[in-house]
Each structure stands twice: as structure tokens, then as C-alpha cells.
Amino acid sequence: MQSPFLTAVSEFMYMKRYAKKTIETYLKYILQFIRFNHNAHPKVLGDVEVEAFLTYIVVNKKVSISTQTVALNALVFLYKDYLNAPLSLDMNYVRSMKQPKLPEVLTPSETKSFFECVPAKHKLPISLMYGSGLRLMECMRLRVKDIDFEFKNIRVWNGKGGKHRVVTLSEQLIESIVVQINLVKSLLAKDVLDEKYGGVYMPHALRRKYAGAAYDLNWQYLFPASRLSVDPESKRYRRHHLDERTIQKTVTKAAKEARISKQVTCHTLRHSFATHLLLNGSDIRTVQDQLGHSDLRTTQIFVHILQRGGNAVVSPLDLISHIKK
């Protein structure tokens, strides 16, 4: 059972309009910090204890730079925004030196084998992650209105870093999406008959701008949950999007059934999308736009995967093998 303190932090973050995923992540690291300090209240702790915790997760837990940064952000929020006691800007802790892994990428033949093992009921969202380079949560948060059949693209709103972008839509998926929208339409027709139903979740500014849109088909999630649930912010009954863990488990299981030895996750499909675009002749700027990367260097890692020897260098051993005596 969650402590009253963490419940209060959670409610505060909802009030401040933080995303559900961010709230869950921050609470996880705040809880780890409290347990590390023998369940002491954060109000009696400060810079020294935060430094010790950040050092501990690097030295003992071997976390990456990005994980340590997220943990720091969670504690900075806790002290600055919630406790109104900002941490020092010059803290001294061991920075993670763990290098990020090279992205795992499927070959085209592995991708084909993988999709042959994906069950029909989850094939569409998983196909969109590979076919359009979507992150898992970008896919789960798609609304009906985000699909543009005329221009064959998908509008992604508030992706990583709050950025918007337009990505390609495979013609092969159009028929399946039409079927999916009809399913959403039938669920909505059933939901509005329930007096407890409060409409789909709407971002704060939009719920004021578009009154009644919560009951509009265009604003419903493309991949809705199987049942209504209570919105933790408003306490109203809504049909949220499909639980992302369902898709994660499906991807893992399909890769295992396809006998792919690589560690395949939802992000692997996005990495494969980028690599296969480059493999088929797309220029790196186009791939950067499709992925929504701010820095071209982030996209260039997929070029390195395609290059041999780092710079398309042909090994001299390969050269001499063609010499005739």
C-alpha cells in the first residue's frame, strides 16, 4: 500500500499536470531514495543524502547515465517543487560512466519472422511501431483524429521532449486502421449509455477549448482499453488507452517464438525502422525527422550500424581473398 506521503506527492503532480508515466517514474525513485535512507522523511534529508543515493545507484546498481539523470530529476522536483527546499546546484556525487548500448536492430528477414509470430489482436499497434517508427507510448496515445488517410501519415503530438511531428503511414495498414476505428466507434456508443462515463481523457487546455470533445469519436484513443477505469486525476470513469505492458509482453513473446536470439523490445522495432530506411536509401535528415531527434548525432548511430569498420572500411583480409595466384 502506498504511503500517505507518496500519495500526496502523486496528487500534487497530477494537479501540476505531469504525465502519468512521469509521475510513476518519479515516485519510483523517490521511494528508492526514502528506503535508502532507512525510511526517513525527505524533509529531514538534503544534499548529502541525495549525493550518497546518486553515488550508490551508480556504484552498486551500475545504472546508466540516463537512469542516474532521471533519478536526479525526480529528487530535484521533490525538493524544489514539493518541499520548497531546493537542492544545491553544485552537488558532489559519482557520475555514471556506463556507456549506452548500441541499439539492437533486426534484419529484414528477422523482422518478417517476428511479425509472423505476432498475434492478430495486437498486430496493428506493433506494426505501427515498426512501420512508422513510433515509440511505445506515442503509439498507445494515438487518437482517431491523428490518422491522416488522405496524405498517408500520422500526427504525433507531444512526443519525447514535448515535440510534435508527422510520420509516414504504411498503405498496408490502412484497412486494419479503418476496422480499428469502427471498433472504437462501437465502444464509444456503448460507453455513452453508462451514466458514470466521463468521456475520454483530454489535456487541460484542450478540455476547455473543445467542450464536449471527450465524447467525440475523433478524440478517442485508437487503441482503447478493454474496460472503463477511474481516472486518478478527476476520479471519473473513462476508457483509457491499452496498457503498454500488454504490448511489451507480446513483443517479447513473439521474438521468442520466432527464435530470435537478440533482445527484442518495442524500441527495437523503432531502431529497425530507422536502420531499414537508411538501408533502402533514405537520407539521414529524413530519418531524423521521422524519429523526431533534435540532434543529428543521435540519428547517426544507425548509420554506424550499417557501416563496416566504422567508416565503411573493407577489411584487407577480404581484399586478398580475391587475389589469384
Amino acid 303: pLDDT: 72
Amino acid 150: pLDDT: 94
73: amino acid identity, one letter: N
Amino acid 325: pLDDT: 57
Query: pTM for this one?
Result: 0.79
Q: Are 111 and 130 in contact (CB under 8 A)?
A: yes
CA distances from 237 to 227, 301, 311 (A): 10, 44, 55
Amino acid 310: pLDDT: 46
Burial status of residue 76 (CB atoms within 10 A of its CB: 0-12, 13-18, 19 or more): middle
Give the separation between CA 261 and CA 114, rounded to whole angstroms: 11
Per-residue pLDDT tens digits for 181-208: 999 999 999 999 999 999 999 877 777 7
Q: Are 114 and 255 in contact (CB under 8 A)?
A: yes
Query: For the residues of 262-312, what is the DSSP string, one character each?
Result: S---HHHHHHHHHHHHHHTT--HHHHHHHHT-SSHHHHHHHHHHHSSTTTT
Amino acid 69: pLDDT: 93
5 grid coordinates: 506521503
Amino acid 304: pLDDT: 67
Indicate if the alpha-carbon torsion angle 173, 176, 180, 181 is positive or negative.
Answer: positive
Q: Are 90 and 48 in contact (CB under 8 A)?
A: no
Per CATH, the number for 101-313 is 1.10.443.10
Question: Domain limits of the chain?
Answer: 4-82, 101-313
Task: Classify domain 4-82 at the CATH superfamily level.
Answer: Tyrosine recombinase, N-terminal domain (1.10.150.130)
Give the separation between CA 183 and CA 325, rounded to whole angstroms: 69
Amino acid 1: pLDDT: 47
Amino acid 317: pLDDT: 56
As averages over each run of 10 residues, the pLDDT of the chain (325 residues) reads 86 86 94 96 96 95 91 96 93 81 87 96 97 96 96 90 90 97 97 93 77 92 96 88 96 97 95 90 88 82 64 56 60
